[in-house]
């Protein structure tokens, strides 16, 4: 069991580093990541690990070649993705082939640096786009260099529509069938064993009778003292295990997946449409709270996007979801009138919006202080590390146990950004040890990250 | 170590039976155990124990098996751009209460103000605060606040009230607008407009605690009915005649800042101002004085005259006591050396004229007193108020509008005012609650709280301060100015008018925005000018001499630092529970008497000491006022013929639950008495003292006093030197410490081998270096740290937090106590539990006396703030069975509430007695329902409204856990996170603890000791190394809080002097 757990940890780590790799600019870090993973492996598990590596490294290689334009993609995701999609019209037009549509490359640079100025200059094409897209001005990006814009364009041009996904029914069913088969065989074999044992037993009794030798008196199983003793011990151990586990799990909600007032799919937003997490959860680098966006943030895009045209959505219970109806629920909350394409306002001109009462999934006890920005901005931890593959979830559930043991384990294993952040220069002792070669890494634990008052005050 | 001894109460000094019993008996109540040995017949037999055990197990199982509730996460509908949930916003604003002024910064979290800090941009208050400023945020969330306007005691609408009041005003007749001192220029403009619209209306200013005497004296002396700016920081000699300028006089935050600047001292710069103090009672200013003498309040004028004569013609003073004569003579001598300043707390015009003459004679005008910039803090003229009351009773007033004052309660003849109010056709109150006056008014149009208001202030001429709201008005209230504008028929709102005024004055949006951000608008340089004295000093002197001397007892009516003049403060549970700096009493007012007087009055000492809660009740009678019954509290340092009572108590039930006086739910008397009726009027100004008789009754009353709990058992914990001693031998304290600790600097076997042997080398670098200790200053401290214990020494690889508290600067004002309470969600426990020594304050200010109790002039008083010392070898940590308290790598003594099982071993083992146990569920933080503690006085702390003041970054503790000072760990974590985000090491001063930030005298320094550039490192290692000491250092607790020795600019320190300190020799009683 232990072995299996460690194996899973390794796979998980590799996949985590694989994810982060997709966003890293420097290819060389791959080597370091693999090395760091290697270091953490217990020597006894190496054998299992080695074979896995061969396969996984091959997977890495294929992924890394697929991302030929890491710069462009990262820039696109952080700057453009909230309004643009390479293939589909969103708040702004689909961007694939944009360099061929516009009058010139220079025009495009100007437009991106300051679209308002281009419009004001009376440029015909610019005014046409402005009119076509509901007179919504595009945010200016004066800080993007021309090379960076080229990289973004190269990226959007490289995006291909996803090929039709083959049905996965068979593939999923296969392991289930195997299990069933094995169980069946095991049961049949067990029954065989029992039957054979009874036959053997009966034959021996008959043989003894024939020889005139006395037989032992039969004692039924339920009155067998050894059996009763073993059963009691097993029962006590079992019950104790069950109660202890139950007590430890008390108040924990792993896999908690409540029904939300609006069927909001992270898969559709963060997965399919590649919207950056921080576009909505803007507090994640600034505050202890990641922040659930207010309705006006939703409306930045949904003023334009008023129907759902993607793949059919299902709840986890298999019910069909009408995506367009869900968007109209948002309009209810945000006070948007989709017919008039305007907000409902009161006499003072205030928008008649009401907040959406989401059901809170991740609940920490009151005596725990958790800060998102500490982990995301300083620790550079990916969202997925704690929240799971959120971009694949239609309905969000609590991925991690959020138990103290889970926090502490991560703090013990995770290395801080020791060399990259000047804050840590005050830990002179560790720097000297690293220089002297007596220390290879500094974990969160080493700088006091498992002390009580880092989270409880 | 020096053997100076301090006593913390008379009972300790006298070794009374009661004290011995208390000292021996740690718990102040009967323990619920029967130790008789008859187990089965005992109160708690074994079977009961088992029953309880079974029940609690079952209850815990049931409680725990409940389902997790469904919680909602509700975002904003439309998020305001400037708010990031979870990140505080800060707004510069202005605290104004009557004429009390403080420039502040309001911390808001998700739209709620939760903490007030001082605004460092103000050159007046310079970032300092007072306990009341700190507590003012709680007044915003006061349940007693009115939710809407009222007419005839019933809820009404603004429209209806406006119509009726406008009709009333237009009906003609004499109208009056009665306000407290107003320092807002725009409000003054609004009032001017209003008076222009209603020419028959008059504006009268009234201050419950009046400075009329000074205003009138300045008028005759300098031709200006104004108050000058004082500069205590420039004064070499400060003489105060009854002015409690560090506590309650005029502008204490400003003066405390200035005063402490003149008294920052170190070995290289051993210079400090000299402070002479003459007072009838015992105030914190008196406690800080270098030379202190007491006099009768009626004698104060004569003291001023004696001082004037001593300066003007060298006449020898001939006053009540030798000490008084000596103080006056010495003060006169020092004042003549220049840079002197004399202030006087008397409200008598003649006395103030003499004080003006003294200041003029010593050349204070233009140096320590600046007439170029006048102060606007107080403007009330007492005779106007008396005339108004007479006019009301004569039926000559048709309309009266009252703002900021509560004369039915705080006027000396409140009854007469109430009667007169009944004869006024249109009476309007702007009070925020149904206070004593509002109840008698026809209309109540509640004003906003200052945290909900736009506004401004001009505390000094040419110095402006803007007020901006931290929250939208919580209730249907309206700005006082808007009400006046509406009634004057104006269509602009006060907000618009205010903005137009400042835009015009500042010239443009940009300047306006800058000013709003800074909070203050000040000239770059303060204009300085003197004034030539033109008063009739001889006339004033002969008036003073003509007054008949009082021979019997005199009563002084004073303001407490906590509640001040009363007002809304009476209903502030934080302030009610803040121990008075001198008496350490909470929740009540009482009669302060000297020990000698108490002895004369009641031979039974135990009934008057602090150990026994039940205090003797006495009856105080003053001519012309109803006798008042109050308990007595013995205060060393009071003049033997003077008794004192504080205002602010004895409030009506509608003022609020915490303020209410009368009988409580169980029929016990609570809430003290209103003593404003003891104030007199001498035909010119109010007089806050009077001849009185005091009679013993056979009743007793429990007063909740916090000191004598937490006894130090007489160990030397404070080091006090005279300035001369310190100058002569600055290193005395250091050498004493060294003598005590030096032999730890190396281990015995190392010593034998001369420090270079194999044994020493084998013990590693630290020990090998130790024998060199005697040649190097720091090593004996390091050696003691390492060798004084069997436990391993904690390593702090990154940050090591440390704090320093300067006892010379600390004035005991209590701003830190309330600041800490606001920052850390410290519970208010109520009087009943303070009586049981269960108060929860994380920081307390211990006060110790020395001298002879019989002779108040010998009393010297010191303050020592005491909080968790964050020991690096903490006795509490070793004894916790569950390791709920342990040490962090940053030198913090951590307390994990959710791990604590409440054994209280840590509190028992703490030598500083700074740990506090949650004996009750003070805040409803338990998971069990109906467990909340209620005493029907402090309970509104737990209302939904008041809970908005809680700091969301700090856990609200539940019943059964220990708590204590955390060094504001939430602030440390936040500052570290900020530095990490910005990618640089933490800068010194980037984080300040709540107590440090609240302190008006900068007595507290805090920072990272590992940072060689930090203020705390330099202070300990170079700047103040001579004065540094640690409390109970010799027991090797290795505190992370150090104290700086107390230096008094005096001839002798009485503490520890066996001949002088009767407290030490216990010969008094």
CB contact under 8 A, A457 and B973: yes
pLDDT for B531: 87
Q: Residue B533 and residue B357: Cα distance in Å, rounded? A: 7
Q: B620: part of which helix (H) or strand (E)?
A: strand B614-622
pLDDT at residue B342 tops 90: yes
Q: Which pLDDT belongs to residue B402?
A: 94
- Provide, rounded to the nearest whole percent, the portion of chain B with pLDDT above 90: 69
* Nearest residue in A to B985, CA atom: A423
B364 phi/psi in degrees, rounded to 5: -75, -35
CA distance B685 to B688: 10
* CA distance to partner chain A, nearest, from residue B924 (Å): 13
Contacts of B874 in chain A (CB under 8 A): none
Q: Which residue in B581, B636, B721, B855 sits closest to B290, CA to CA?
A: B721
**Confidence bin at A49 (pLDDT 50/70/90):** very low
CATH no. for B720-1048:
3.30.70.20
* Mutation target among A407, A453, A456 for the B interface, most CBs of B within 10 A: A453
Is the CB of B889 less than 8 angstroms away from the CB of A454?
A: no
Instruction: Output the pTM of the full model.
Output: 0.82
Nearest CA among B889, B972, B977 for reference residue A450: B889
Question: Is residue A16 less than 8 Å (CB to CB) from chain B?
Answer: no
Q: What does the pLDDT average to over B828-856?
A: 91
8 Å CB contact between B433 and B140: no
Which has more confidence, A10 or B723? B723
* Residues of chain B neighbouring A363 (CB-CB closer than 8 A): 68, 71
CB contact under 8 A, A456 and B896: yes
- Helix, strand, coil percent content, chain A, rounded in steps of 5: 55, 5, 40
Q: Confidence band (pLDDT; 50, 70, 90) for A21?
A: very low
Please report the pLDDT score of residue A11 as a whole number: 40
Q: How far is B926 from chain A (nearest CA, A)?
A: 11
pLDDT of residue B712: 43
Q: What does the pLDDT read at residue A248?
A: 80
CB distance B86 to A369 below 8 Å: no
What is residue B182's predicted lDDT score, i.e. its pLDDT?
94
DSSP codes of every residue in A109-160: HHHHH-HHHHHHTT-HHHHHHHHHTTTPPPPP-TT--HHHHHHHHHHHHH--
Query: What's the pLDDT score for residue B41?
Result: 59
Cβ B985–A363 below 8 Å, yes or no? Answer: no
Confidence of residue B715 (pLDDT cuts 50, 70, 90): low
Nearest to B983 among A283, A423, A454 (CB): A423
A397 found inside a domain: no
If we measure between CA atoms, which residue out of A399, A370, A361, A254 comes closest to residue B71? Answer: A361
Q: What is the pLDDT of residue B899?
A: 92
Query: CA B68, CA B86: separation in Å to the nearest integer?
Result: 24
Q: What are B184-234's pLDDT values in tens digits?
A: 999 999 999 999 999 989 999 999 999 999 999 999 999 989 999 999 999
Chain segment B1017-1058, per-residue pLDDT in tens: 999 999 999 999 999 998 999 999 999 999 999 988 877 666
| pLDDT at B173 (0 to 100) | 86
Chain A residues within 8 A of B990 when measuring between CB atoms? none
Q: Is A364 on the interface with B (CB under 8 A)?
A: no
> Which of A:409-428 have CB within 8 Å of B?
421-428
Cα distances (angstroms) measured from residue B60 to each of A85, A365, B960: 55, 18, 15
Do A341 and A374 lie in one domain? The reply is: yes
Which residue bears the tokens 């895009």? A301
- Do residue A296 and residue B890 have CB atoms under 8 angstroms apart? no
- CB–CB of B767/B786 below 8 Å? yes
**Protein fold of B212-375:** Dimethylsulfoxide Reductase; domain 2 (3.40.228)
Average the pLDDT over B399-407 and give the result. 94
- Indicate the average pLDDT of chain A: 79
Of B906, B930, B941, B917, the closest CA to residue B825 belongs to: B941
Residue A95 lies in domain: 71-158
Instruction: Indicate whether A19 pLDDT > 50.
Output: no
Q: Which has more pLDDT, A77 or B950? A: B950
Structure token pair of residue A433 = 């040890």
Q: Which of B511, B563, B184 is nearest to B379 (CA)?
A: B184
pLDDT at B595: 86
One domain for residues A75 and A57: no
Per residue in B784-818, pLDDT (tens digit) is 888 888 888 888 888 999 999 999 999 999 999 99
How many domains would you assign to chain A?
Answer: 5
pLDDT grade, residue A163 (50/70/90)?
A: low
Looking at the complex, report in whole angstroms how far the Cα of residue A306 sits from the nearest Cα belonging to chain B: 19
Mean pLDDT of chain B: 88
CA B351 to chain centre: 28
**Nearest Cα residue in chain A from B109:** A287
Range scoring the smallest mean pLDDT among A164-178, A374-388, B662-676, B829-843: A164-178
What token pair was written down for A296? 């006006």
pLDDT of residue A333: 92
Q: What is the pLDDT of residue A77?
A: 74
The domain ranges of chain B are 89-140, 150-156+175-210+380-521, 212-375, 550-705, 720-1048
The 3-class SS string of B417-474 reads HHHHHHCCCEEEECCCECCCCHHHCCEECCCCCHHHCCEEEEEECCEEEEECCCCCCC
What is the distance between the alpha carbons of residues B734 and B740, in angstroms, rounded to a whole number? Answer: 10
In a domain, A170, yes or no: no
**pLDDT at site A113:** 85
pLDDT in tens, B491-512: 999 999 999 999 999 988 999 9
Distance from CA of A319 to the nearest CA of B (A): 23
CB contact under 8 Å between B87 and A334, yes or no, is no
Nearest CA to B669 out of B614, B730, B742, B601 is that of B614
Per-residue pLDDT band for B821 (boundaries 50, 70, 90) equals very high
- Assigned CATH topology for domain B150-156+175-210+380-521: Rossmann fold (3.40.50)
Q: Classify domain B89-140 at the CATH topology level.
A: N-terminal domain of TfIIb (2.20.25)
Rounded to 5, what percent of chain B is helix, strand, coil? 35, 20, 45
Span A232-241, average pLDDT? 95
Percent of chain B with pLDDT over 70: 89
Among B32-46, B782-796, B905-919, the range scoring the smallest mean pLDDT is B32-46
Share of chain A above pLDDT 90, in %: 31
- When pLDDT is averaged across residues B837-856 and rounded to a whole number, the result is 90
Q: Which fold has domain B550-705?
A: Barwin-like endoglucanases (2.40.40)
CB-CB contact of A153 with A101 (8 Å): no
Instruction: Identify which of B554-558, B680-684, B1057-1061 has the greatest average pLDDT.
Output: B554-558
Do residue A140 and residue A183 come from a single domain? no
pLDDT greater at residue B603 or residue A445: A445
**Residue A315 belongs to some domain of the structure:** yes
Residue at A257 is within a domain:
no
In a domain, A140, yes or no: yes
Q: What is the pLDDT of residue A169?
A: 42
The reply to whether A255 falls in a domain is no
**Residues B928-953, mean pLDDT to the nearest whole number:** 89
Which of A294, A366, A447 comes nearest B79 by C-beta?
A294
**How many C-alpha atoms does B559 have within 13 Å on its Cβ side?**
26
Q: Does this complex have an ipTM over 0.95? A: no
The 10s digit of each residue's pLDDT in A405-442 is: 999 999 999 998 888 889 999 998 999 999 999 988 89
Name the band, by pLDDT with cuts 50, 70 and 90, for residue A40.
very low
Strand pairing of B642-646 and B553-558? Answer: parallel
Residue A293: its chain B contacts at CB < 8 A?
A: 75, 79
User: Using one digit for the tens of pLDDT, what is the confidence trace for A115-147?
Assistant: 888 888 888 888 888 888 777 778 778 778 888
In this structure, of A89-98, A368-377, B158-167, B455-464, the range with the lowest mean pLDDT score is: A89-98
pLDDT at B301 over 70: yes
Neighbours of A415 (CB within 10 A): 15
Shared-domain flag, residues A14 and A52: yes
Question: If contacts are CB pairs under 8 Å, which of residues 125-184 in chain A contact chain B?
Answer: none
Using a CB-CB cut-off of 8 Å, the residues of chain B touching A444 are none
Q: Is residue A399 part of a domain?
A: no
pLDDT band, residue B710 (cuts 50/70/90)? very low
229-268 of A, contacting B, C-beta below 8 A: 250-251, 253, 258
Radius of gyration from C-alpha coordinates of chain A: 31
């Amino acid at each position: 069991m232990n072995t299996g757990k460690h194996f899973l940890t390794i796979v998980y780590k590799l996949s985590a580093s694989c994810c982060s790799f997709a966003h890293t600019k420097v290819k060389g870090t791959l080597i370091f990541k693999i090395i760091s993973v290697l270091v953490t492996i217990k020597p006894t598990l190496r054998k299992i690990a080695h074979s896995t590596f061969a396969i996984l490294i091959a997977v890495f290689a294929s992924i890394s070649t697929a991302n030929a334009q890491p710069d462009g993609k990262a820039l696109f995701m952080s700057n453009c993705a909230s309004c643009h999609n390479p293939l589909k019209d969103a708040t702004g037009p689909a961007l694939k082939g944009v360099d061929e549509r516009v009058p010139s490359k220079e025009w495009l640079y100007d437009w991106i640096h300051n679209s308002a100025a281009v419009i004001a200059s009376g440029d015909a094409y610019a005014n046409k786009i402005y009119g076509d897209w509901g007179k919504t001005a595009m945010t200016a990006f004066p800080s993007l260099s021309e090379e960076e814009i080229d990289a973004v364009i190269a990226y959007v041009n490289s995006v291909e529509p996803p090929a039709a996904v083959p049905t996965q029914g068979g593939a999923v069913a296969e392991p289930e069938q195997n299990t069933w088969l094995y169980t069946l065989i095991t049961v049949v074999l067990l029954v065989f064993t029992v039957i054979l044992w009874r036959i053997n037993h009966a034959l021996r009794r008959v043989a003894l009778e024939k020889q005139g030798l006395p037989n032992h008196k039969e004692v039924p199983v339920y009155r067998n003292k050894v059996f009763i003793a073993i059963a009691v011990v097993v029962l006590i151990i079992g019950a104790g295990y069950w109660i202890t586990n139950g007590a430890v799990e008390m108040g924990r909600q792993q896999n908690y997946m409540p029904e939300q007032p609006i069927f909001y799919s992270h898969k559709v937003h963060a997965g399919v449409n590649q919207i950056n997490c921080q576009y909505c959860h803007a507090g994640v680098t600034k505050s202890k709270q990641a922040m659930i966006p207010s309705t006006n943030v939703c409306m930045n895009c949904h003023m334009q996007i008023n129907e759902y045209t993607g793949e059919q959505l299902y709840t986890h219970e298999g019910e069909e979801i009408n995506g367009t109806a869900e968007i109209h629920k948002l309009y209810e909350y945000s006070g948007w009138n989709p017919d008039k394409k305007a907000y409902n306002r009161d006499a003072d001109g205030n928008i008649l919006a009401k907040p959406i009462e989401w059901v809170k999934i991740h609940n920490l006890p009151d005596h725990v202080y958790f800060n998102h920005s500490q982990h995301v901005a300083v620790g550079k931890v990916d969202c997925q590390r704690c929240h799971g593959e959120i971009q694949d979830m239609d309905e969000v559930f609590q991925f991690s146990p959020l138990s103290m043991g889970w926090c502490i384990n991560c703090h013990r294993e995770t290395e801080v950004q020791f060399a990259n952040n000047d804050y840590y220069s005050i830990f002179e002792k560790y720097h000297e040890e690293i220089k002297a070669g007596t220390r290879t890494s500094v974990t969160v634990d080493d700088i006091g990250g498992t002390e009580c008052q880092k989270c409880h005050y | 170590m020096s053997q100076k001894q301090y006593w913390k109460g008379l009972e300790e000094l006298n070794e009374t039976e009661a004290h011995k019993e208390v000292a021996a008996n740690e718990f102040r109540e009967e323990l619920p155990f029967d130790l008789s040995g008859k187990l089965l017949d005992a109160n708690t037999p074994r079977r009961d124990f088992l029953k309880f055990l079974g029940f609690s197990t079952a209850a815990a199982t049931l409680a725990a098996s409940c389902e997790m509730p469904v919680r909602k996460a509700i975002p904003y509908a439309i998020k305001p751009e400037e708010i990031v949930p979870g990140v505080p916003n800060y707004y510069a604003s202005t605290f104004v209460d009557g004429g009390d002024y403080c420039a502040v910064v309001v911390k808001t979290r998700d739209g709620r103000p939760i903490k007030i800090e001082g605004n460092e941009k103000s050159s007046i208050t310079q970032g300092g605060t007072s306990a009341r400023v700190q507590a003012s945020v709680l007044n915003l969330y006061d349940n007693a606040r009115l939710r809407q306007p009222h007419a005839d005691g019933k809820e009404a609408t603004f429209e209806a009230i406006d119509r009726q009041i406008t009709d009333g005003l237009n009906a003609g007749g004499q109208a009056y607008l009665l306000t407290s001192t107003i320092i807002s220029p725009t409000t003054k403009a609004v009032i001017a407009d209003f008076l222009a619209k209603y020419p028959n209306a008059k504006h009268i200013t009234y201050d419950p605690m009046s400075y009329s005497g000074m205003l009138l004296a300045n008028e005759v002396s300098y031709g200006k009915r104004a108050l000058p700016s004082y500069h205590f920081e420039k004064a070499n000699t400060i003489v105060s005649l009854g002015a409690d300028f560090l506590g309650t006089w005029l502008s204490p935050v400003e003066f405390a800042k200035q005063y402490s600047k003149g008294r920052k001292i170190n070995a290289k710069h051993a210079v400090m101002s000299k402070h002479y103090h003459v007072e009838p009672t015992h105030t914190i200013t008196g406690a800080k004085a270098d030379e202190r003498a007491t006099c009768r309040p009626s004698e104060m004028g004569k003291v001023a005259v004696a001082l004037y004569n001593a300066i003007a013609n060298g006449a020898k003073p001939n006053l009540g006591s030798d000490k008084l004569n000596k103080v006056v003579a010495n003060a006169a001598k020092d004042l003549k050396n220049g840079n002197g300043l004399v202030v006087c707390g008397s409200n008598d015009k003649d006395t103030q004229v003499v004080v003006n003459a003294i200041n003029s004679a010593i050349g204070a005008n233009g140096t320590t007193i600046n007439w170029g910039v006048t102060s606007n803090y107080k403007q009330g003229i007492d005779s106007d108020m008396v005339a108004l009351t007479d006019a009301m009773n004569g039926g000559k007033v048709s309309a009266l509008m009252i703002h900021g004052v509560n004369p039915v309660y705080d006027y000396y003849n409140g009854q007469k005012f109430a009667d007169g109010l009944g004869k006024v056709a249109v009476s309007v109150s702007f009070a925020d609650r149904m206070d004593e006056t509002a109840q008698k008014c026809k209309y109540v149009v509640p004003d906003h709280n200052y945290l909900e208001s736009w506004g401004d202030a001009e505390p000094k001429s040419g110095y402006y301060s803007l007020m901006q709201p931290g929250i939208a008005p919580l209730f249907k209230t309206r700005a006082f100015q808007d009400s006046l504008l509406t009634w004057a028929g104006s269509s602009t709102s006060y907000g618009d008018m205010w903005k137009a005024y400042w835009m015009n004055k500042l010239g443009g949006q940009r300047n306006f925005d800058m000013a709003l951000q800074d909070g203050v608008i000040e000239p770059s340089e303060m204009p300085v000018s003197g004034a030539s004295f033109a008063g009739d000093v001889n006339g004033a002197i002969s008036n003073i001499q003509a007054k008949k001397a009082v021979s019997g007892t005199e009563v002084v009516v004073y303001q407490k630092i906590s509640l001040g003049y009363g007002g809304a403060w009476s209903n502030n549970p934080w302030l009610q529970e803040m121990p008075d700096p001198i008496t350490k009493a909470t929740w009540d007012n009482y009669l302060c008497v000297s020990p000698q007087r108490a002895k004369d009055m009641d031979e039974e000492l135990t009934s008057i000491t602090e150990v026994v809660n039940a205090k003797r009740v006495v009856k105080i009678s003053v001519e012309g006022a109803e006798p008042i019954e109050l308990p007595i509290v013995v205060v060393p340092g009071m003049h033997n013929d003077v008794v004192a009572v504080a205002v602010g108590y004895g409030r009506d039930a509608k003022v609020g639950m915490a303020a209410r006086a009368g009988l409580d739910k169980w029929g016990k008397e609570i809430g003290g008495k209103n003593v404003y009726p003891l104030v007199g009027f001498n035909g010119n100004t109010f007089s806050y003292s009077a001849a009185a008789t005091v009679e013993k009754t056979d009743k007793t009353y429990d007063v909740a006093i916090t000191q004598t709990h937490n006894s130090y058992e007489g160990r030397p914990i404070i080091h006090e030197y005279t300035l001369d001693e310190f100058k002569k031998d600055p290193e005395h304290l250091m050498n004493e410490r060294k003598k005590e600790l030096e032999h730890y600097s190396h281990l015995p076997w190392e010593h034998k081998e001369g420090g270079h042997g194999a044994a020493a080398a084998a013990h590693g670098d630290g020990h090998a270096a130790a024998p060199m200790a005697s040649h190097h200053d720091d090593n004996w401290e390091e050696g003691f740290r390492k060798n004084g214990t069997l436990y391993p020494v904690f390593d702090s690889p990154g940050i090591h937090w440390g704090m320093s508290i300067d006892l010379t600067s600390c004035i005991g004002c209590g701003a830190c106590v309330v600041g800490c309470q606001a920052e850390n969600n410290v519970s208010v426990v109520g009087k009943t539990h303070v009586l049981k020594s269960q108060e929860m304050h994380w920081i307390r200010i211990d006060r110790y006396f020395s001298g002879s109790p019989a002779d108040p002039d010998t009393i010297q008083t010191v303050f020592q703030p005491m909080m968790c010392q964050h020991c690096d070898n903490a006795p509490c940590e070793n004894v916790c069975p569950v390791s709920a308290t342990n040490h962090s790598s940053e030198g913090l003594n951590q307390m994990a509430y959710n791990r604590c099982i409440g054994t209280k071993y840590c509190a028992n083992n703490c030598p500083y007695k700074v740990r506090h146990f949650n004996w009750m569920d003070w805040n409803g933080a338990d998971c069990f329902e109906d467990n909340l503690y209620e005493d029907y006085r402090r309970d509104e702390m737990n209302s939904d409204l008041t809970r908005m003041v809680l700091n969301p970054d700090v856990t609200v503790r539940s019943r059964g856990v220990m708590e204590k000072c955390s060094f504001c760990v939430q602030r440390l974590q936040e500052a570290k996170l900020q530095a990490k985000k910005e990618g640089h090491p933490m800068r010194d001063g980037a984080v300040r603890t709540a107590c440090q930030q609240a302190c008006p005298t900068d007595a507290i320094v805090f920072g990272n000791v590992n940072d060689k550039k930090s203020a705390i490192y330099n202070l300990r290692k170079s700047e103040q190394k001579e004065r540094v000491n640690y409390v109970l250092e010799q027991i090797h607790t290795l505190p992370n809080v150090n104290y700086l020795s107390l230096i008094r600019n005096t001839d002798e320190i009485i503490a520890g002097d066996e001949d002088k300190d009767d407290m030490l020799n216990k010969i008094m009683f």
